[in-house]
Amino acid sequence: MSEKTHTRRRPAGRDRRTAHERTQEDEEETEQGGDELVCPECSGNVIQDEEHGETVCEECGLVVEEDSVDRGPEWRAFDAAEKDQKSRVGAPTTNTMHDKGLSTNIDWRDQDAYGRSLGARQRQKMRRLRKWNERFRTRDSKERNLKQALGEIDRMASALGLPDNVRETASVIYRRALDEDLLPGRSIEGVSTACVYAAARMAGVPRSLDEISDVSRVSKDEVARTYRYVVRELKLEVKPADPEQYVPRFASSLELSEESEMRAKQLLKNAKEKGVHSGKSPVGLAAAAVYAAALLTNEKTTQAAVSEVADISEVTIRNRYHELLEAEDGLIA
């Protein structure tokens, strides 16, 4: 295998052995000219290829000596304890920890390296060190957390086409959540998603849970759960979604006129006064209003199209828009 991947010439047989395996006689053979090595095949000059750790003949390209760097430990250990002592490498670094496991850890015991207990002065000092170490560690763990969350928020917001102020709001909410220690036990993903959802609603440009969870790596259930939790803990003022807020978005997705948009809003206002909506999904109501408005203004739309952009079933649109029209008729008559 290795023979084929290398285009340079390779010696066959005994010369292919690495430096470690060379026997005494090999040693003498290669060493005889001191530093001025000569290629055993063509007697050309031999040079060091530092990059590859090989010694190569200038003339014929013969690799006289390969792997001249010894990658093993330079010390020898005769038992496990000695190995531990002599080894200068620690635990492997890991990416699952924010600092790759390289942060400082201070033992909680007031003992020195030999297990003797510390004097009062030293104990004081260690206590201070622990305190500060902890402070720094949690501080930048929060920083990192925040950084990642903000990235997520940004990503989701732009995927949903949400304006900058929503991102701002979402970030602020997230910061608060972090400050109030709402994160432990919850995923960064989940909380940032919930923040985006809340921010969008507060800014009057709501997105449905479905839309939100589509761009998030978190399930709809978790978003909803986390959202409720965050709202409760932070005492956020989020009014129940107003159907009217969905209208502009639907209308523009369907390329309807301003007029239809206005009509849809009127329809909803009227319906609200009549109390037609109670427990009905705001999205469904909005979709129905948009559809009804399009009908009233003689603009062509299909229930299917509205149901598509509103992500609501046609049946629901039918039911709602009947109710809307009834309410309207009652007003006119």
Distance CA 257, CA 251 (A): 8
Quickly tell me which residue has 């732009």 as its tokens.
158
- Copy the structure tokens of residue 302: 């299909």
| Binding of residue 141 to DNA (CB under 7 A) | no
The annotation status of 195 as a binding-site residue, yes or no, is no
Distance CA 141, CA 147 (A): 10
Nearer to DNA, 164 or 311 (CB): 311
Q: Which one, of 20, 91, 9, 87, lies nearest residue 44 by Cα?
A: 9
Per-residue binder mask for DNA (CB under 7 A), 20-59, x = binder: ----------------------------------------
Distance CA 123, CA 114 (A): 15
Residues 6+ apart with CB under 8 A from 29: 40
From 2-10, 15-23, 115-123, 304-312, give the range in contact with DNA by CB under 7 A: 304-312
| Binding of residue 302 to DNA (CB under 7 A) | yes
Nearer to DNA, 193 or 303 (CB): 303
Quickly tell me which residue has 């998030």 as its tokens.
216
| Binding of residue 312 to DNA (CB under 7 A) | yes
Per-residue binder mask for DNA (CB under 7 A), 217-246, x = binder: ---x---x----------------------
The annotation status of 57 as a binding-site residue, yes or no, is yes
Give the one residue of 42, 106, 315, 331 binding DNA; rule: CB under 7 A: 315
Per-residue binder mask for DNA (CB under 7 A), 260-289, x = binder: ------------------xxxx--x-----
- Do the beta carbons of residue 217 and residue 189 sit within 8 Å? yes
| Chain residues 59-118 in contact with DNA, contact rule CB under 7 A | none
Distance CA 164, CA 175 (A): 17
- Do the beta carbons of residue 108 and residue 130 sit within 8 Å? yes
**In Å, what is the CA distance from 179 to each residue of 139, 176, 191, 223, 231?**
11, 5, 13, 20, 14
Q: Which residues bind DNA (CB under 7 A)?
A: 220, 224, 278-281, 284, 301-304, 311-316, 318-320, 322
Task: State the binding site for Zn(2+).
Answer: 39, 42, 57, 60
